[in-house]
Structures are given as C-alpha cells and as structure tokens.
Structure 1
Amino acid sequence: MSGDVAVLGVGMHPWGKWGRGFATYGRIAARAALEDAGVGWEEISSVVGAQTVRGGYPGYVAGATFARALGWQGARVASVYAACASGAQAVDTARAQILAGLADVVLVVGADAAPKGFFAPAGGERPDDPDWLRFRVLGATNPAYFGLYARRRMALYGDTPEDFALVKVKNAAAGALNEFARYRTPVTAEEVAASAMVADPLRLLDICATSDGAAALVLCGMEYARRRGVRDPVRIRAVSTVTPTFPRTVLDLPDIGTDSAVAVEPAPEGFRASIARAAYEEAGVGPEDVSLAEVYDLSTALELEWYEDIGLCGPGEGARLLRSGATGPGGRVPVNASGGLASFGEAVPAQAIAQVCEVTRQLRGRAGRRQVPGARVGITANRGLFGHGSAVVAVR
C-alpha cells in the first residue's frame, strides 16, 4: 500500500527507577534503534519526540531535546503531546512527514522519568484539566478510576477479582522473559489476592506502577528501505488517532464547556472500540487477521475491556476469552506478549512506542522465548486523556 512506512530499527532503555533524566534514557533508546536500523545519526532527516510534561521545559520540546542529546546535525524536529497516546501520535507525525516527502528517514523517541506514586498534573492548579479536577475535586486518582471500571465489569458481566488476577499472572509470566521489563518475576493468583487493596476491587498487583523508561523507532519510506537492501521490512499500515463521538461512553468528567455540543449522531460503540475500528479500516484488516496485540493494561480489568474493544470477542466476553487461553502464550491471539504495563510500569510518552517495538520484534521473528509463531499482523492500542485515541497496525 502507498500509505505504508517501514520500521528499520527499534530500541529501548530498560524500564525501572534509575534516577536519571528522561533525555538520557531517550538518547540510549535512540542509539539502540539507530544501531538496529544500520543507520547513522547523521542520516536522520527528522526527529519526532513524544513529550513528557513532567520533564520541565526540555520535556515540552522533546524533539529538540533528543536531537541535542544526540548531537546537533540539522535535522527537522517536532514535539508531540497526547498524554498516554503521545507515542502513537509521534509515530503518526513521522509517518506523515515520510509520506509527504518531507523526510526520508525519521527517528521517533519517547522517554520519561516518572515520579514515585500517583501521577500529579503538571503546572500547578489547573481547573480546566480533567486530571486536576478528578484528583482535587473528587479525590479520584487513577487507581480509583480503574476501580470504577472494574466494578462496572463486575456489575454488567459478572467478572470476578479472580478473573482480573489471571491477567496479572499471564502478563507477569511474559514479562519474566523480557529483558527490558521492570518486573521479571512470575506471579501467582494467590499472590495477587494477598497484595494490598488499593481501589476496591483492585489490589496492588492489579495496577501498573509508574516507571522510568524509553523507546525509539527508525521509520522510513518503502523506497528508502529498498535502497538500503531491506526487502521485507515490518510495515506500519495504519495509525488511528481518533477522538470520541457523542455521547461519550467512558467514565470521565466533562471537558468544561465542550460536552454539550452534539456534532454527530450517537455512536454505536464506545470510544476505545472506535479507536481500533479506525485502525482496522485504514489497514484493510480485521480482528480475525490479528496475530498478536499490545494493549494498555493500566489495570488488569482494563485489559479485559481491550479484548472486547479491539474485536477479539464480544462485549462481556473478555474474561471467558482469557480463561480459554486464547490471549496467552500459544493462544489464538496473544495479548501483551511483552508483559504489558503489568511488567513495565507506565512511562507515559514512551509506552505506545514500546508497544510498536514489541510488535516489530514479533513480526520479525526475533522475540526469543516470547515469540508468537507465524506472526504476520499486530495491533497496538491505548488512549490518552482529553480524547486522544491511539492504535497502530503493523504487518509483515
């Protein structure tokens, strides 16, 4: 397809709490991606940085920050912020530059040095920020938010805490095989059930941590890949960055004066489902074609929601799909073969890029003991605050 771009290289800095600045993590991931691609830094014509608002001014101008860390060489730069969807928005920006003929080969980098504990809104009091409102007015930190989703699934579909625990068990087993993961110890359902209650019904091991980490990609046009002698690269075929449609069907506070305007007819599906649908439509594939998926498991219960939203099963069937083994190793469509956020923790602007790194390794057949046999199509999915959708479809 004319809209394809090739993934020449992938690179990551291990997740954890390392006590360094985000630019250091980003530089290391970028160097790894350049080495994987066999491309010199001087050959990069554009750098797109996924922003980290917690990194001060350098975080707001992440593209230039990463370019400076690698050494000024005249590349075009761009910086993108879309909360948890920042990495996918950065991929989309790079893809647009390549397809428009503005750049031959683009470096995409996301990195974060996350604080310990709950994320707090950056920049002081911000009454127009849904995060600030949730935290300060309702006292609803992210884990409390995740607990509401979990309770909703229990009420609507009969999901149980035992179902949620099995997601952690699956992802921890995968993360134990991933050298970039922060948590690399298998976990039992009994250990999940014995961990501290955080936001009923979710326990400590049901909820992802906050982490430092970085991920990077080297993307190029198909002709550039052929000139480099790369005959069958992994290709990004679709990037979905859609917004919700009325009525909103996610648990969120009103975006001040914007929710009263009805722009279109009521949507037949929820926001997360529309994110995946847009990606499938652009890529010309469907859920039945997917070999593996990387989804944003902020909590164990939310992973089950994603099964349904990306079309692996019908509404309310996520727990049954999990218990069937379909989403685990050797299953019909493994989900979070990387270990997911359960194993990595959340480094906000890097995670969507890390998802593409994992899918690329799987489609190349280079995922080691995590390898999904015969992987040909992968989808990534997450969503960011304030209506940012995020899904990427990659093929080989």
Structure 2
Amino acid sequence: MTAEVAVLGAGMHPWGKWGRSFVEYGVAAARAALADAGLEWREVGSVVGADTVRGGYPGYVAGATFAKALGWQGARVASVYAACASGAQAVAAARAQILAGLADVVLVVGADAAPKGFFRPAGGDRPDDPDWLRFRVLGATNPTYFGLYARRRMAVHGDTPEDFAEVKVKNSAMGALNPHARYRKRVTADEVAASAVVADPLRLLDICATSDGGAALVLSSMEFARRRGVAAPVRIRAVSTVTPTYPNTVLDLPDIATDSAAVVEPAERTFRASIAHAAYQEAGIGPEDLSLAEVYDLSTALELQWYEDLGLCGEGEGAKLLREGATAPGGRIPVNMSGGLASFGEAVPAQAIAQVCELTWQLRGDAGPRQVEHARVGITANQGLFGHGSAVVAVR
C-alpha cells in the first residue's frame, strides 16, 4: 500500500491525422488532465515527458518541451524513451519521484505526430537492435512480422482468420463509443475479410494505423489527494518495466530452442508473460482479480496472445476465450474497452498513458457507454522497443 500514488486527472487529445505539432496535442491533453484533476498548472511540481523520435530535438526532451509550452513555472522535468513503452516508463518515473518525496504532484504527458505508412527505425544503423536487423536483413516490416506471428498462432494453436476478425469487430464496437478514438465506426467480420491482404493472413483491418494524438495524467501522493478532499481516488499500485531473462531472451516468441537452452535451465515464462507476472507480484493480485485489461493490439492476432500472457487463459486458449465472449462487454474479463489500437492507431509515446487514462475512467465509473460494471482492478500491457516491458495496475 505504501507504494501507491493517486491518479487525480486524466486527459487526451483525440487521435487522428491532424497535421500539427506533437506539442499541441500534448499540451491539450495536459490541460484536459489538469482540469479533470481540478488543479492549476502552477501546482505541478514535476513534468515527465514521454519522448517522440519523430518530433526533432523537442521530441527528445519532451518533459522540458511540454513544461515550456505550458509556461515555465519552475517544475522539475524528466524525459524518457522506450518506444511503445515510453508512457509506462514515464508513469514509473513520476511515481518514483512522488514516493521519494521530490514532488507532490507530477504531470505525465506523451504525444506524437506519426508519419503515414510503416514505421522505420530512427537514428541510423543499429546493428545491435533486433528490430533494426529485422527490417534491414530480413526486409520484414512490422505488418510482415505481425503476419508471421499470426501464421504461427494458426499453426500451433489452431487460430483462424475468422478469430482474428472477431477481435477487430469487438474493438471497433468500443471505439465507436469513444470520443477520443480515431476510428468511430463498427466493423463487421465480412468487412474485415473483404479488406486488402497486407501480410497473409492479416488484412488491412487486422492491423492498426499510425496516428497523431496525446494523453496525460496527473499523479499525486496519497497525502496530497487527501488534503484536496479526494477520499477514494484511483490508485496506481504497480508498474512493471521488466526486461527478458536469460536464456529465454527472444522478445516475442515462446518455445524457440537455442543452443544455450540445451545446457541452461530455461526461464519459467516468456518475456511478455513476465511483464504481467511482475505487475501482479508487486500489486499483490492475480489475473482472477482483474475487472478489465487494456492491451497492445498492434494486430488482432497479438491481442489473443496477450490474453495468454496476462494469464486470462491457458496457452493456446486465447481464441477460445474470445469466442466465449469473456473479453467482450459484459464478459468475465473485458479487454480493450477503449477500442484499443484498432480504433486509435499508434501515437507511440502516448499510447501506454492512454491505456491508464481508460483504466482511470473505468474505475471511476466515468466511461459512459463503454463502462464495465463494478470495475475495481485493471491492468495495462504493452511492449516497447528492444526489451522494454510495460504494465500498470490501477485499483479503486
């Protein structure tokens, strides 16, 4: 309990393709979060910015960039980068500052203005980066990689393209209800099947887009929340930012033999499963305690994998869980009630923060038509570049 911090405010700039600076999106999200918290900008003691590599120099010092845009007032600043896990790393840094007594109130902000098309590795040649190697040596863009992953699930677990399509159907129905989502239209399984093949078996509607957008949170110490009369705030109870464990250091796929595996005891769980395990362990909960989850659905097939990695079902049972309706509204464990990346697209440094925004609104009972009844515990999950884990547990 001593490691908890309060979430006093959550705010977002709607996702889309707006053609403006990431700074504008981040400032709009920050102001929305401050208004939600009922706080003035001058009351913020620290700003932690999630960096974007596409925003030029200001993107590399996002904390200072947002502090300047909001108006210099002496706040501490920090900037973090972990690609898709940047937002969770920013939450972790903010929580550490609060628990260390360095600030009572911390503003966490992430925003991006993403290019059209496939993401390319930024920063020149990176021969020690497996993602760079995948792009450069194999020519495997992200959609190609997603397609290989989906094909593996079909071969190993018996998943079908129809299963993948149902993930999109579920998430698009929620995105249609979310005013912050980019795509606000329900999609049918037939429409998924009729969309263009991008990387067999995945079609255009199986894969998330790239987007502009921003998200922000106002975090505080529990004592500050009580002083401000917030008796029962949403609380962040755990943040997992783990890395892989040797010898099971393949970042995505389980059950891949290596020479070292023959002589070294293999790790107990895959990397993504270890992300969730660390969060559960810190929070003192298990998957059976969850009310909902927000997961990183770069592709429809990947959402099914997260079901298993979060322990919502056994290995290979993700599609079965989906077919049973367990992850849909009213199900045992609703997943991606925000609409997920299927409805938002990737605004990379903002997305892990946006996941916590959704948990906050759900746990407060403020999610409107997307509301999960009696929501008390939620988890987010995604994976950043080159071994950055990311999971946040929030409770009410």
TM-score by length of 2: 0.96
* Corresponding position of 1:246: 246
Partner SS for 1:107 = strand
What does residue 110 of structure 2 align with?
110
Does residue 216 of structure 2 align to residue 216 of structure 1? yes
Specify the code of the residue in structure 1 equivalent to 2:361: R
Which aligned pairs between 1:143-292 and structure 2 lie closer than 5 A? 143-248=143-248, 250=250, 265-292=265-292
**Maintained 8 Å contact 1:208/1:298:** yes
1:251, distance to aligned residue in structure 2 (A): 5.8
Alpha-carbon separation, structure 1, partners of 2:123 and 2:392: 30
Cα distance between partner residues in 2 of 1:235 and 1:63: 23
Check 1:86–1:28 CA distance in 2 against 1; reply closer, same or farther (3 A cut): same
How far has the Cα of 1:133 moved from its partner?
1.9
Worse-superposed segment, 120-129 or 82-91? 120-129
In the TM superposition, residue 349 of structure 1 has moved relative to its aligned partner by: 0.5
CA contact (8 A) 1:17 1:211 kept: yes
Instruction: Give, in whole Å, the separation in 1 of the partners of 2:203 and 2:159.
Output: 15
Distance 1:16 1:375 in 2: 29
Map of 2:90 onto structure 1: 90
Contact 2:322 2:328 in 1 (8 A): yes
Distance (Å, rounded) in 1 between the aligned partners of 2:56 and 2:86: 16
- Residues 1:252 and 1:281: Cα distance change in structure 2 (over 3 Å): closer
Task: Answer with 385-394 or 133-142: which moved more.
Answer: 133-142
> Conserved in 1, the CA contact under 8 Å of 2:252 and 2:272?
no
| In structure 2, C-alpha distance between the alignment counterparts of 1:126 and 1:135, rounded to whole Å | 11
Give 1:252 shift: 6.5
Q: How far apart, in 2, do the equivalents of 1:79 and 1:261 lie?
A: 37
Query: 1:251 and 1:103 mapped to 2: Cα distance?
Result: 35
CA RMSD across the alignment: 1.7
The letter of the residue matching 1:4 is: E
Shift of 1:177: 0.1
- Aligned equivalent of 2:138: 138
1:328 is matched with which residue? 328
Matches within 5 A, 1:17-166: 17-166=17-166
Aligned-pair distance for 1:45?
0.4
Query: Alignment partner of 1:53: what SS?
Result: coil
Q: Which residue identity lines up with residue 229 of structure 2 in the other structure? A: G
Secondary structure at the residue paired with 1:209? coil
Tell me which stretches of 4 or more aligned residues in structure 1 moved more than 6 Å: 259-262
Amino acid at match of 2:394: A
1:379-394 equivalent positions in 2, closer than 5 A: 379-394=379-394
Distance 1:273 1:225, change over 3 A: same
Post-superposition CA distance 1:50-107 (Å, at most 9, x none): 0001111101000000001101111000000011100000000000000000110000
Aligned to 1:256: none
| Distance (Å, rounded) in 2 between the aligned partners of 1:252 and 1:192 | 25
Task: Give the direction of change, closer, same or farther, for the CA distance of 1:265–1:106 in structure 2 (3 Å limit).
Answer: farther
Give the conservation status (yes or no) of the 8 Å contact 1:245–1:266.
no
Task: Give ranges in structure 1 of 5+ residues lacking alignment.
Answer: 254-258
The 3 A distance-change label for structure 1 pair 301 and 312 is: same
Secondary structure of 1:369's counterpart equals helix
| Cα distance between partner residues in 2 of 1:12 and 1:354 | 7
Q: Residues of 2 paired with 1:315 and 1:105: CA distance? A: 41
> 3-state SS of the aligned residue for 2:108?
strand
Q: Residues 20-75 of structure 1: CA distance to partner in whole angstroms, max 9, x if unpaired?
A: 01011000000000000011000100000000011111010000000011011110
Which residue identity lines up with residue 126 of structure 1 in the other structure?
R
- 1:246–1:265 contact (8 Å) kept in structure 2: no
- Amino acid across the alignment from 1:358: E
Question: Structure 1 252/163 Cα, relative in aligned 2: closer, same or farther at 3 Å?
Answer: closer
For residues 230 and 251 of structure 1, what CA distance do their matches in structure 2 show? 41
- Cα separation, 2, equivalents of 1:248 and 1:388: 15
Inter-partner Cα distance in structure 2 for 1:260 and 1:218 = 45
